[in-house]
Amino acid sequence: MNRQANFLEEATARQIVQRAMSIIHHSVNVMDSNGVIIASGNASRLYQRHEGAVLALTENRVVEIDAATARNLKGVQPGINLPFSFRNQLVGAIGISGDPAEVRAYAELVKMAAELMVEQAAMLDQYQWEKRYREELANQLLQGKSEPGSRQAMAAYLGLDLQQPRIVWIVELHEPQPQTLREVLAILESIQREALITLTSFNELVLLRPASVKQGVWDAQQERMQAQQLQHELQKRFNLRLIVGGFFTGEEGVHRSILTARATQTMARRLNLQHRTLFYEDYPLPSLLCDLGEDWRAQELSRPWQSLSGKDEKGVLRNTLRHYFHHNCDQTQTAAQLHIHVNTLRYRLQRIEKNTGLKINQLSDVLQLYIGMLMHD
């Protein structure tokens, strides 16, 4: 049977010693695959080569050492030594100090416990590596750039299909606390197993979920239902908002999806929207416009609205325009909503035309006012 060098971690070895000695009340040593003591109930014996363990590992058998034999071996005390393995490979040896006749009854149990703990440590290590790979793959997909073959290698390791379309969901915590973030992450990892999840800030997680696709076509209604279901489940315990980006195919699909989700997030903050669930699909124009920021094009588009703001101290005209646009430029509905006569509405619209130099009944002019409102309201 082959030995696997350096497989047994010292931290795991120390746990084996601590747990074993809390039960059997005998000094316990754990030796690595070279027979060197890497954990012991007697600290003075650390990092010494244990000849009994070397013999046990070399011949793959239990080695009992009485007091007379111990005097003839280096670094050895009376006791019993057992090799133990993981996945059919020897990884170390367990030594229990004491009269062999007395400690023999504990030997197999301690060996079994050691093998279980090594297996548990290996599974935890694998889980941690898989989690790191999932986060790194998520970040590379979000950024839209990666080293050639990097995505494919990580996806192959994780057993994921990169051809499967994914859509970005942003989970935004409104009362961020480290413990809350951990709890939300734990829940999402449990109920969103197919999603890649990454922490992007102290109050935010991003999910890359397999998109709801039927026969190659995105099912927006199904996506919406799933998002609302998750929001309903999480809001029982947490104060948060869920933002769903757009759906795009191809290698850069996830990158474009996060861009639209971010634009929707920016729009919601600027317009002070209180919705618990937001979909880019519902706000494509305001989301794209709000994300222009201070670009010179944004300044030009918003210039008429800014001009109106400077001449509308009480905000009556701007409020009128908001309702007017909300009712798709229907004067009757707008007047009713504002509780004013339609003639009063027309008078206000005329004042807006005078202050901005634009014509309310011309599409290009009214669109410029609408864009300005979205960007600066």
User: Which is it for the CA torsion 105, 110, 116, 122, positive or negative?
Assistant: negative
pLDDT computed for residue 291 by the predictor: 64
pLDDT at 229: 93
Mean pLDDT for 143-169 is: 83
Which of 2, 1, 24 lies closest to 114 in space, CA to CA? 24
DSSP secondary structure letter of residue 215 = T
At 79-105, the pLDDT tens digits run 899 999 888 889 999 999 888 888 888
Question: Side chain identity at 341, as an amino acid letter?
Answer: H
Confidence of residue 74 (pLDDT cuts 50, 70, 90): confident
Average pLDDT, the chain: 87
Give the model's pLDDT for residue 350.
95
pLDDT digits (tens, 9 = 90+) for 202-227: 899 999 999 988 877 899 999 999 99
Question: Listing from the earlier edge strand, what are the strands of the sheet with 166-173?
Answer: 196-201, 204-210, 166-173, 240-244, 277-279
DSSP 147-158: -TTHHHHHHHHH
296-376 CATH choice from 1.10.10.2840, 3.40.630.10, 3.60.15.10, 2.30.30.30: 1.10.10.2840
pTM: 0.65
Topology agreement, domain 161-290 and domain 296-376: no
Strand partners, 279: 244
What kind of architecture, by CATH, is found in domain 161-290? 2-Layer Sandwich (3.30)
Query: For residues 216 and 231, what is the distance between their CA atoms, to the nearest angstrom?
Result: 26
Where do the domains of the chain lie? 10-104, 161-290, 296-376
* Residues 1-52 pLDDT 10s: 444 445 688 888 998 998 888 888 889 999 998 999 999 998 888 998 888 8
What's the one-letter identity of residue 220? Answer: A
Rounded distance between C-alpha atoms, residue 124 and residue 147, angstroms: 28
Tokens 């990169």 label which residue?
162
Predicted local distance difference test score (pLDDT) of residue 377: 63
User: The tokens of 244 are what?
Assistant: 């769903």
Topology of the domain comprising 10-104:
Beta-Lactamase (3.30.450)
Could you tell me the two tokens for 222? Answer: 């199904």
The pLDDT tens digits for 294-351 are: 677 777 878 888 889 889 989 999 999 999 998 999 999 999 999 999 999 999 999 9
How does DSSP assign 60-111, residue by residue?
Answer: TS-EEE-HHHHTTSTT--SEEEEEEEETTEEEEEEEEES-HHHHHHHHHHHH
Residue 261 in this model has a pLDDT that exceeds 90:
yes
CA dist 143 to 104, 137, 259, 266, 294, Å? 59, 10, 10, 18, 23
In a 3-state reduction of DSSP, which class is residue 171? strand
- Could you tell me whether strands 79-86 and 277-279 are parallel, antiparallel, or unpaired per DSSP bridges? unpaired
